[in-house]
Amino acid sequence: GAVVSQHPSWVICKSGTSVKIECRSLDFQATTMFWYRQFPKQSLMLMATSNEGSKATYEQGVEKDKFLINHASLTLSTLTVTSAHPEDSSFYICSAAQSGGELFFGEGSRLTVL
């Protein structure tokens, strides 16, 4: 299957700082990428749809000023958690779609905010 890479795989930060997570499609171009968040023992919740060259589309209840998404190229989308707080601690996962519609996921980034 297609390869989607995320970095970093885990990060620990102090409350109030900002954290950037990168998502790259390594062997295909992705005009659309998706960002999910998963809390322990829960399913994936879509946060936003990242569109190359345009603004991201956020799901209801997701603060766009807190979770900044940039999709500057066809192979890279970034999620920045601004002024992180302990309740933002979660597993953040990106995904990208090939032309066939199948979504492939990155390895995930585990964020812990102290």
Partner 1 sequence: QKEVEQNSGPLSVPEGAIASLNCTYSDRGSQSFFWYRQYSGKSPELIMSIYSNGDKEDGRFTAQLNKASQYVSLLIRDSQPSDSATYLCAAQAAGNKLTFGGGTRVLVKP
The CA distance from 111 to 114, in Å, is 10
Our CB check for partner 1 shows the closer of 67 and 106 to be 106
Residues 15-44 that bind partner 1 (CB under 8 A): 32, 34, 42-44
User: Least distance to partner 1 from the beta carbon of 16, Å?
Assistant: 27
- How far is 79 from 20, CA to CA, in rounded Å? 6
CA–centroid distance for 24 within its chain: 10
Q: At 87, is the secondary structure helix, strand, or coil?
A: helix
Q: For the window 64-93, what string marks contact with partner 1 as x by the rule CB under 8 A?
A: ---------------------------x-x
Min. distance of Cβ 4 from partner 1 in angstroms? Answer: 9
Minimum distance, C-beta of residue 32 to partner 1, in the bound complex (Å)? 6
Per CB under 8 A, which of residues 42..61 are in contact with partner 1?
A: 42-44, 46, 49
Q: Which is nearest to 81 in space by CA: 20, 22, 36?
A: 20
Q: Contact, 73 vs 52, CB < 8 A?
A: yes
